[in-house]
Structure 1
Amino acid sequence: MESNKKRGNLIQWFIGIGDLLVVNALFFAVYYLMGEGYTRAIDSHLREVVLLLNFCYFFSVYFVPIQLHASVIFLEKIVQRAFLLVTFFIILFATCLTFLNIGDQLATFLLLYYISLVVFFSFWRVIVRISLKIYRRKGYNFKAVVIVGAGKNGMELYRVMKDDLAYGFHVLGFFDDNLALKDVLPNYLGMTHEVERYCLENSVDEIYCTLPGTQDEKMLRMLNFAEKNMIRFYIVPEFYRMVKKSLLMEMMDTVPLLTIRREPLQSAYNRSLKRAFDIVFSLAVLLTVFPIMYVVIGLLIKLSSPGPILFRQKRTGIYGEEFFCYKFRTMRVNEEADTQQAQKDDPRKTKIGDFLRRTNIDEFPQFMNVLAGHMSVVGPRPHMLKHTEQYSAIIDKYMVRHLVKPGVTGWAQVTGYRGETRTLEQMEGRVKRDVWYIENWSFFLDLKIIVVTIVNMFTGEKNAY
């Protein structure tokens, strides 16, 4: 067990040294490739610049620490943290160069270094994480753990830890006072009063307690033991059997509060970042391609059938507020527009309308909604008022999707839930993905969804009709 702890420390050192090699190797690669015309200011201060380079890395990694060795971390988060670290590092490095009076002469060099560092640093971090997962699957760098309590929560925890060895857990077994479970558990180690002796004799790293709240004396005893013997102690709350959610703890003075949903967009900074991106992106679309689209597509729509170029419909927005959503008109004017979804081979569609729907071009006028603040570029798709009324009554978490602004595109749409929802299961699947987006929002996730949407515009989608 001790060797695994040492390996864990060595892995963190290895990642840090690898980071430094990437930072320095790319610096010298860009330095020599760009030539004297762009790097002459560095020549007379090369030693100081390299020292500053490494100092800035150590300072930056203090604020954006390495988390690659964590049990569970997704590749998307790794890329996001790599981007944050590199951005913070470059800003700090450029500031230090300014104090040397050479920062303003190296703008092109720093820009190229920044772009290359984002790409290669992210690639390096992802490769390290994948390698670490392979290393753990071979039985190395694991934490020896025991589970106290063999109820539903305990068994589910065991299943999660055993399903993917890449998490780095080695479950030694269970402790439970119900002797009837002795012959059915994967590895029964004894009763709860035997936990302490076993942990001392077997160098246990972590104790996971899944006992019900009625046995708080036993939990307190084991907690105190773990604290005294430098063993990490975790409690799986009893109500997890009913609330299968990722809970978030907050503190009100000394009182702990558990909330059932993590919402990154509750942060004022995240909301400001998302809104700033919405404004820049929507303005870019509305001032460039949209005027041309409006003239060309508008003419084709007028030629296809009588009626307006834009279709305006009331949809449900953030916090249930109603707003008028705009689209290029894809159907003949009809009385069912506000009550009936578009279907495959819908007779109401025009020929140009069918093309607009398949390519998502019909959604472009919604960038006016984005600029006005009713919508965001990315978010849960806004539904017709009839659907909001209908599904909110039969799907428990349906209204949760309205905690954020609706989007021109969304996570549900790029994961197979675009278009008509014929069954309740399809709508539940869409709502599940919308809620997941709200709980896992990041700026990089928005960028990923936009890229996939653009790709789908050219490759087509089977549900786009």
Structure 2
Amino acid sequence: MISKLIKNTYILLLIVDLLLINIVVYFVFEKIHQSLQFNAYISVFWCVTSIFTNYYKVYRFTNFYRLLRLTVVQALFFTLGFFAYFGIFKEGEVVNTQFKTLIITLGSLALFKLISFLILKKIRQFGSNFKKVIFFEKDDTTKKMIKLFQNRASLGYSFLGYFSNKITDDSNYLGNESELYDFLKLNEIDEIYATLSNLKKAQVKKLTKYTSLHNITLKLIPDSKEFYSKSRNVEFYDDTLKVLSVKKLPFDLIENRIIKRVFDILFSSFVCLFIISWLYPVLWILIKIESRGPAIFKQEREGFNGNEFVCYKFRSMYINKQANKVHAIKNDSRITPIGKFIRKTSLDEIPQFFNVLLGDMSVVGPRPHLESLALEYQKDVDNYLERHAVKPGITGLAQISGYRGEIKKKSDIKNRVRLDIFYIENWSFMLDIKIVVSTVLNVFKGDENAY
């Protein structure tokens, strides 16, 4: 139970820190200067700076000196932001309790960080909040790490054993490489440590792909000749133990998921209030006048983690039995006259902003496919399922790159998936903005694949 409660310590610690900041401001700061504006400013400033300083990136192997450095750096940024408020909004005013408030706030935050750090170590010593780990191949460094995990319970690692293609009678030996993947399917493993000196590049690539798809953390134990790339972080577990951590994908970080979700809500709310509010009734009337049937077409599509959801679109076709089986093609006889216009201008996708608000979709992401067609695409593209790592989008990198609409040949879906995966692995907020702007421009310029 305790382990589940502290699983997402980042959010829990952030909430407590924000409460501490606001409580100190309320009780210590001069009441005349208390305002919602200041509380909102200082809270947002703390959240933003904590992301850039990596304040909450405290790991099981983090030592006291790194903890101290994080605290000092964050305190310096917070101090600058604290006094900047008065320079911007209260220029020339003297507030007697400024320094008192700042010192008590920083002292409370530092004390809480230290106490929470020590409490977590104690909890792990008693067997809670531990991570189940296994090793793939074994060398001298591996032996040191296993000994470290077994002797220092406060790190919170539960060593289950190791796999190797060299069969031994060691009690910790669990099996060979093929048995490793069977073991992973049947057991909930948190981390895998792989010894690079005994593995081929193909084995590392396969392991990297598997762990990425199944949300398992992969740690690589290097030899003296191992090179370090941008895709790997160097972590020190002890004075002599060095480990390469395969960097997480952008959406593995909760702060990125929060930024993307906030953008989705704000952007979709704007579209719903200022565009759909008047466009919806106009198109509803035109569609209903032209042909019989509902104005909104509902279709089940594949979403996040492969789960199905109901996708909304303005109906652009006459009612037909093939609507849920076959994509539209050029000069498709099923498309109505008004349907040609709304498809050409992508207005048929507008109702999907409701899907975004409901949490089924994102403004930007891989386009959702029909389940029947998705099964066919999986046969042609090996890494097709990686698209399910994020929510599907109204628009995406593949769409603005010319890969939208009808799939005419296998290379079309392969290129679409390639761009979708590139987006997932290289996401940034500015990339989303670029895709949205390009989509809007394409609506006015026209897209030859929009039919």
Q: TM-score, normalised by structure 2?
A: 0.51
* 1:345 aligned residue: 331
TM-aligned CA deviation for residue 303 of structure 1: 1.7
Query: For residues 331 and 380 of structure 2, what CA distance do their matches in structure 1 show?
Result: 29
Provide closer, same or farther for how the CA distance between residues 267 and 214 of structure 1 changes in structure 2, counting only shifts above 3 A: closer
* 2:449 aligned residue: 463
Query: For residues 271 and 439 of structure 1, what CA distance do their matches in structure 2 show?
Result: 13
1:33-432 matches, within 5 Å, as 95-99=82-86, 103-104=89-90, 235=226, 247-249=231-233, 253=237, 254=241, 256=243, 259=246, 262-432=248-418
CA displacement 1:388-411 (0-9 Å, x = unmatched) = 111113311100011000001001
TM-aligned CA deviation for residue 92 of structure 1: 7.8
TM-aligned CA deviation for residue 324 of structure 1: 0.5
Could you tell me whether the CA contact under 8 Å between 2:264 and 2:357 is conserved in 1?
A: yes
Query: For residues 442 and 348 of structure 2, what CA distance do their matches in structure 1 show?
Result: 14
Query: For residues 215 and 438 of structure 1, what CA distance do their matches in structure 2 show?
Result: 27
* 2:437 aligned residue: 451
Could you tell me whether the CA contact under 8 Å between 1:262 and 1:439 is conserved in 2?
A: no
* 2:28 aligned residue: none
Provide closer, same or farther for how the CA distance between residues 94 and 235 of structure 1 changes in structure 2, counting only shifts above 3 A: closer
Could you tell me whether the CA contact under 8 Å between 1:246 and 1:262 is conserved in 2?
A: no
Q: Secondary structure at the match of 1:420?
A: coil
CA displacement 1:150-183 (0-9 Å, x = unmatched) = xxxxxxxxxxxxxxxxxxxxxxxxxxxxxxxxxx
Could you tell me whether the CA contact under 8 Å between 2:249 and 2:424 is conserved in 1?
A: yes
TM-aligned CA deviation for residue 256 of structure 1: 3.2
Query: For residues 439 and 452 of structure 1, what CA distance do their matches in structure 2 show?
Result: 20
Query: For residues 343 and 93 of structure 1, what CA distance do their matches in structure 2 show?
Result: 59
Provide closer, same or farther for how the CA distance between residues 262 and 424 of structure 1 changes in structure 2, counting only shifts above 3 A: farther
Amino acid at match of 1:256: V
Could you tell me whether the CA contact under 8 Å between 1:94 and 1:103 is conserved in 2?
A: no
Amino acid at match of 2:272: L
Q: Secondary structure at the match of 2:243?
A: strand
Provide closer, same or farther for how the CA distance between residues 303 and 263 of structure 1 changes in structure 2, counting only shifts above 3 A: same
Amino acid at match of 1:401: R
CA displacement 1:375-429 (0-9 Å, x = unmatched) = 0000000011112111113311100011000001001001111111111110000
Q: Say what the alpha-carbon RMSD is for the aligned residues.
A: 3.2
Query: For residues 304 and 364 of structure 1, what CA distance do their matches in structure 2 show?
Result: 19
TM-aligned CA deviation for residue 282 of structure 1: 1.1
Query: For residues 333 and 368 of structure 1, what CA distance do their matches in structure 2 show?
Result: 23
Query: For residues 244 and 227 of structure 2, what CA distance do their matches in structure 1 show?
Result: 15
Which residues of structure 1 form unaligned runs of 5+? 1-59, 65-88, 107-211, 217-232, 238-244
Amino acid at match of 2:325: T
Could you tell me whether the CA contact under 8 Å between 1:378 and 1:407 is conserved in 2?
A: yes
Could you tell me whether the CA contact under 8 Å between 1:95 and 1:103 is conserved in 2?
A: no
TM-aligned CA deviation for residue 105 of structure 1: 5.5
Amino acid at match of 1:431: V
Query: For residues 77 and 283 of structure 2, what CA distance do their matches in structure 1 show?
Result: 44
Could you tell me whether the CA contact under 8 Å between 1:398 and 1:431 is conserved in 2?
A: yes
Provide closer, same or farther for how the CA distance between residues 429 and 98 of structure 1 changes in structure 2, counting only shifts above 3 A: closer
CA displacement 1:170-203 (0-9 Å, x = unmatched) = xxxxxxxxxxxxxxxxxxxxxxxxxxxxxxxxxx
Query: For residues 77 and 389 of structure 2, what CA distance do their matches in structure 1 show?
Result: 35
Provide closer, same or farther for how the CA distance between residues 215 and 360 of structure 1 changes in structure 2, counting only shifts above 3 A: closer
Could you tell me whether the CA contact under 8 Å between 1:330 and 1:352 is conserved in 2?
A: yes
TM-aligned CA deviation for residue 90 of structure 1: 11
TM-aligned CA deviation for residue 98 of structure 1: 3.5
Provide closer, same or farther for how the CA distance between residues 432 and 262 of structure 1 changes in structure 2, counting only shifts above 3 A: farther
Amino acid at match of 2:422: W
- Deviation larger for 90-99 or 343-352: 90-99
Amino acid at match of 2:267: F
Aligned residues: 251
Could you tell me whether the CA contact under 8 Å between 2:380 and 2:414 is conserved in 1?
A: no
Query: For residues 242 and 353 of structure 2, what CA distance do their matches in structure 1 show?
Result: 44
* 1:22 aligned residue: none
Pair 1:439 & 2:414 matched: no
Which residues of structure 2 form unaligned runs of 5+? 1-48, 54-75, 93-195, 201-223
Amino acid at match of 2:275: V
CA displacement 1:323-355 (0-9 Å, x = unmatched) = 010000011111011110011111100111111
1:18-37 matches, within 5 Å, as none
Amino acid at match of 1:423: K
Query: For residues 236 and 339 of structure 2, what CA distance do their matches in structure 1 show?
Result: 54
Query: For residues 306 and 383 of structure 1, what CA distance do their matches in structure 2 show?
Result: 26
Query: For residues 463 and 213 of structure 1, what CA distance do their matches in structure 2 show?
Result: 49
* 2:103 aligned residue: none
TM-aligned CA deviation for residue 93 of structure 1: 6.5
CA displacement 1:194-236 (0-9 Å, x = unmatched) = xxxxxxxxxxxxxxxxxx95899xxxxxxxxxxxxxxxx9745
Provide closer, same or farther for how the CA distance between residues 90 and 368 of structure 1 changes in structure 2, counting only shifts above 3 A: farther
Q: Percent identity?
A: 43
Q: Secondary structure at the match of 2:300?
A: strand
Q: TM-score, normalised by structure 1?
A: 0.49
TM-aligned CA deviation for residue 96 of structure 1: 2.9
Query: For residues 215 and 317 of structure 1, what CA distance do their matches in structure 2 show?
Result: 36
